[in-house]
Amino acid sequence: EEITADRAVPKIASELAELVQPVDALKPHPENPRRGNIAAIAASLERFGQVKPVLALEDGTIVAGHHVYYAARHLGWDRVAAVRVAMDEEKARAYLLADNRISELGTYDSDSLGRLLAEVDSYDTGLEGTGYKPEDLKRFLADLDADPTSGGGGGGEPKDVCCPMCGHRVS
């Protein structure tokens, strides 16, 4: 990683260049209830760089992307890509809740997730920066193999299979 004047050089997708601004020009929304995994997001930023912008109000208050902001600061980045939008406080609070909650409502196709995890794990950089670890993949695949409803052929009684990272259950 390149360091300039004790600051890490941010890795920001060139397509976001016109949105880059000083990280100090942004501030977290004081009512954000979400607590993210800063270390996992920092690892993702290190591997992939920033490929989607933080969303902030015109005054720089973050509405979505708080933990990207925190991870960038943790990495010593002095700038991030952020898009600013005009939104009143009522709409901003509601959007903050929606952004934090809606992805939690989704589920995974266990077979597709297992195949994708195994494929990405075979890459030179493996699962680095994805939030998954090799032991998560092994446990997930073992659970699928033990579940006769998954096509794994483990035999025995059907059981719940749970993704170790997202908590999605398949019965």
**pLDDT, tens digit, for every residue of 109-146?**
888 888 898 899 999 889 999 989 888 888 887 877 76
Spatial CB neighbours of 32, under 8 Å, sequence gap ≥ 6: 62, 66, 96, 100
Q: What percent of the chain has pLDDT over 90?
A: 58
Q: What percent of the chain has pLDDT over 70?
A: 81
Model pTM score: 0.76
Query: What is the torsional sign of CA 18, 24, 25, 28?
Result: positive
User: Which of 43-47, 97-101, 146-150 comes out lowest in average pLDDT?
Assistant: 146-150
